[in-house]
């Protein structure tokens, strides 16, 4: 299938902390779920992202398809005109979709790719935050009750197959707008029934029944989620593989639901395997490779620090094998000139996943290295991040089994323990490596010690920063 992933994301501006400000905490779960859903989508590395917004201006003649070379918009309607988004458009994909839509008897018109509405901007914000940099194909829905959503979904699949590209589909939509007193469309206790029914369909994988929700209940709920979801579901032929709800809440009287509608997990695993073979050249469980940086893990480290410094929630994405399992990690921060700015890590994993371990150590390196003042948000852009992924320490009987250029070292004597990463400038012999590690641990000369060695896979942000990276 040319469409390995389809998702649902809400379009509540308040879920963006910069817009929600002091109220953002009330929908922190939604913010985290939006980030997680976006990360899952981006993990499929789509060639084109189809974004369906129910708020992009509609016309009766059919579906709006943006053919612009660039999409753009800002949040001036929400008091933040300085918060602008830009993304490359998808003219070739748009033309292919027009042809396929016309072949199915559907009318189309040229939607505007500038001054994007919040139905497009909010999910796009999270997708760009998840490091998607590919083209975006914006789709506007026709006038309500057209009943052609499934056909345009099939046309999307046709176009992706014709271009032999991987397209991901993002349905933007909010659930009921009448969940409580003070809700945007007023309160109706029956509106909660729509949210419960629609959520149950997704939880049960009944994508082929989304369009069959009671029209009167839909109208009463003042929802704008069904049509865009039907388009996305039809694009994957209503295949509910991987279908699941990420989160749901309605703190302001509007239901926010984030969900994976379809996901080919085998595609994620296969892509990870290919990237692993291409970039690492060998099994990552045996570190030491001279691999290119792994952008995903490095991005997790940087985003975790930025979110902590901004007092924003951040949940690292789930990673596919071989990057899912936890292991020892050190995160090193350096200035542009190469000076050490912080380094914290663990020889053995303390959290359940590698992504969580990287995020935790990154925040600690930025804020809890006692040798330095905490990193300020304004200096983060000038820092480079280095990750050291450790193999499981292997006990050795003497220093002859060490090679300071290849192996890191753990020395221990009773409760005292010292760690050195490999390839530290100025350490040329195993004896010197053991001596320095003992000094760091506070172990007196001549004290009996146990030794263990480990290897390291280093991941570096662009441009490696000279020698001496390993001292903790």
Q: In CATH, what number is assigned to the domain containing residue 112? A: 3.40.830.10
pLDDT at residue 25 in the model:
86
Asked if residue 272 belongs to a domain, the reply is: no
119 and 44, same structural domain? yes
Q: For residue 23, what pLDDT is reported? A: 87
Residue with tokens 């949940």: 315
- For residue 169, the number of C-alpha atoms closer than 13 Å in the C-beta half-sphere is 31
For residue 192, tell me if it sits in a domain: yes
- Domain annotation covers residue 139: yes
Query: 81-95, 156-170, 405-419: lowest mean pLDDT where?
Result: 405-419
Pick the last residue of a domain from 263, 291, 307.
Answer: 263
Q: Does residue 7 register a pLDDT over 70?
A: yes
187 and 302, same structural domain?
Answer: no
Same domain for 27 and 122, yes or no, is yes
pLDDT tens digit sequence for 25-52: 899 999 999 998 998 899 888 999 999 9
Residues 211 and 247 in one domain: yes
Asked whether residue 339 is assigned to any structural domain, the reply reads yes
In a domain, 269, yes or no: no
Q: What mean pLDDT value characterizes the chain?
A: 88
Query: Is the pLDDT score of 280 beyond 50?
Result: no
What global pTM score does this model have?
A: 0.60
For residue 469, pLDDT over 70 is answered with no
Domain count across the chain: 3
Note whether 325 and 431 are same-domain residues: no
Residue 21 lies in a domain: yes
Most confident residue range from 41-45, 114-118, 421-425: 114-118
Q: Say if residue 311 is in the same domain as residue 380.
A: yes
* 292 shares its domain with 410: no
323 pLDDT tier (thresholds 50, 70, 90): confident
Same domain, 253 and 292: no
* pLDDT of 285 above 50: no
We report the CATH number of the domain holding residue 374 as 3.30.700.20
Place of tokens 């069904």: 226
Residues 223 and 344 in one domain: no
pLDDT at res. 277: 43
What are the CB-based long-range contacts (under 8 Å, 24+) for 94-100? 94/65, 94/66, 94/67, 94/137, 95/67, 96/159, 96/162, 96/163, 97/65, 97/137, 97/139, 97/155, 97/156, 97/159, 98/65, 99/159, 100/155, 100/156, 100/158, 100/159, 100/162
Structure tokens of 364? 């600690």
Q: Is the pLDDT of residue 319 over 90?
A: no
Tell me whether residue 471 is in a domain. no
CA atoms within 13 A on the CB side of 439: 8
Examine the pLDDT at 62 and tell me if it is beyond 90.
yes
- Residue 266: the pLDDT is 65
Q: Do 107 and 173 fall within a single domain?
A: yes
Boundaries of domain holding 419:
392-454
pLDDT at 222 over 70: yes
Per the listing, tokens 């009671």 go with 214
Check whether residue 65 and residue 118 sit in a common domain: yes
Same domain, 170 and 306: no
pLDDT value of position 399: 86
The CATH number of the domain holding residue 409 is: 3.30.1490.150
Residue 272 has pLDDT above 60, yes or no: no
Q: Which of 246, 240, 171, 172 is nearest to 201 (CA)?
A: 240
Looking at the domain assignment, is residue 469 inside a domain?
no
The pLDDT tens digits of the residues spanning 16-25 come to: 999 988 888 8
Scan for tokens 């040319």, then name that residue: 2
């Amino acid at each position: 299938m040319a469409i390995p992933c389809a998702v649902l994301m809400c379009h509540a501006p308040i879920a963006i902390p910069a817009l929600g400000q002091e109220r953002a905490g009330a929908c922190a779960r939604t913010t985290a779920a939006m980030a997680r859903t976006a990360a899952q989508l981006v993990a499929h590395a789509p060639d084109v992202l189809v974004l369906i917004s129910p708020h992009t201006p509609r016309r009766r003649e059919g579906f709006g398809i943006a053919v612009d070379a660039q999409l753009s918009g800002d949040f001036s309607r929400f008091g933040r005109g300085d918060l602008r988004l830009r993304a490359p458009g998808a003219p070739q994909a748009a033309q292919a979709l027009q042809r396929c839509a016309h072949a199915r008897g559907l009318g189309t018109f040229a939607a505007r790719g500038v001054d994007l509405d919040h139905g497009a901007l909010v999910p796009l914000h999270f997708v760009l935050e998840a490091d998607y940099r590919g083209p975006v194909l914006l789709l506007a829905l026709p006038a309500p009750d057209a009943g052609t959503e499934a056909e345009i979904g099939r046309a999307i699949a046709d176009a992706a197959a014709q271009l032999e590209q991987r397209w991901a589909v993002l349905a933007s939509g909010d659930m009921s707008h009448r969940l409580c007193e003070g809700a945007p469309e007023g309160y109706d206790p029956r509106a909660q029934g729509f949210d419960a029914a629609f959520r149950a369909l997704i939880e049960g994988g009944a994508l082929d029944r989304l369009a069959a929700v009671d029209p009167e209940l839909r109208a009463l709920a003042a929802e704008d989620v069904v049509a865009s979801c039907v388009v996305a579901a039809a694009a994957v032929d209503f295949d509910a593989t991987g279908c699941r709800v990420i989160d749901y809440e309605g703190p302001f009287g509007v239901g926010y639901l984030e969900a994976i509608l379809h996901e080919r997990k085998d595609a994620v695993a296969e892509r990870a395997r290919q990237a692993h073979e291409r970039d690492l050249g060998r099994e990552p469980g045996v570190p030491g490779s001279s691999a290119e940086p792994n952008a995903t893990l490095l991005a997790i480290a940087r985003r975790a620090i930025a979110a902590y410094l901004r007092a924003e929630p951040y949940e690292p994405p789930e990673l596919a094998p071989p990057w899912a399992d936890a292991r020892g990690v050190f995160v090193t921060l350096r200035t542009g000139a190469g000076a050490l700015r912080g380094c914290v890590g663990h020889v053995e994993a303390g959290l359940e996943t590698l992504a969580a371990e990287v995020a935790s150590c990154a925040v600690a390196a930025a804020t809890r290295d006692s040798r330095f003042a905490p990193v300020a948000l304004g200096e983060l852009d000038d820092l480079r991040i280095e990750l050291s992924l450790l193999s499981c320490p292997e006990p050795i009987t003497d220093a002859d089994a060490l090679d300071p250029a290849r192996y890191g070292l753990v020395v221990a004597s009773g409760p005292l323990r010292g760690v050195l990463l490999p390839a530290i400038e100025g350490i040329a012999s195993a004896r010197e490596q053991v001596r320095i590690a003992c000094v760091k641990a506070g172990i007196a000369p001549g004290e009996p010690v146990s030794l263990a060695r480990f290897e390291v896979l280093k991941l570096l942000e662009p441009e490696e920063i000279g020698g001496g990276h390993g001292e903790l």
